[in-house]
Amino acid sequence: MGNEYLKKPLPSEEKQRDFYQKLRVRVHNWLESKSSKLDSAGQFVLFAPDLFHLLTRLLLDSRIDKKSKAYVGAGVLYFMAPIDFLPEILVGPGGFMDDVIVAVYVINTVLNRFPKEVVTEHWAGDEDLLKVLSKLANSGDRWAAKLPAGKAVKRFLK
């Protein structure tokens, strides 16, 4: 699968949006099935579709340099990888916790390299991106400290 795979065109915006919408619905339905109110882990996982969408949009932004796009691309690939620290196939949407930790780390790195508007204009979530990132970074640190997989993700990112 070498470079020819990388030369394939990206899915259309409609297909990307469809994936995003399906992912949001899947995560929301899973959370509703687990409890009537969202706990902190549920709220953490609920941002996974929004963060994935943001990463894919950043990947397509011509203002982002190649080195940063490689970093963003790694974040997108982590979401899509069937095997990671908390595989979704085994733990359902709760497996997005490690993906969220990786996405927050990547997005914060991009925010440190570019004006915040370059990133925030791609945000499709309901809340302010910078508030979400702050909340997730704090929660992510707490969850990473509690979960063996979270500790492994943090070591992997450093």
Summarised one tens digit per residue, pLDDT across range 45-95 is 778 888 999 999 999 999 999 999 999 999 998 888 777 766 665 666 567
Range with the largest mean pLDDT of 7-16, 85-94, 116-125, 133-142: 116-125
Which residues form the domain of 107?
12-157
pTM, rounded to two decimals: 0.69
Is the residue at 144 inside a domain?
Answer: yes
Number of domains in the chain: 1
Task: Please tell me the least confidently modeled range out of 27-31, 105-109, 111-115, 144-148.
Answer: 144-148
Is the residue at 4 inside a domain?
Answer: no
| DSSP codes joined into one string, the chain | --HHHHTSPPPPHHHHHHHHHHHHHHHHHHHHHH-SS--HHHHHHHTHHHHHHHHHHHHH-TTS-HHHHHHHHHHHHHHH-SSSSS-HHHHGGGGHHHHHHHHHHHHHHHHHHS-HHHHHTT--SSS-HHHHHHHHHHHHHHHHHH-HHHHHHHHHH-
Is the residue at 2 inside a domain?
Answer: no
Is the residue at 3 inside a domain?
Answer: no
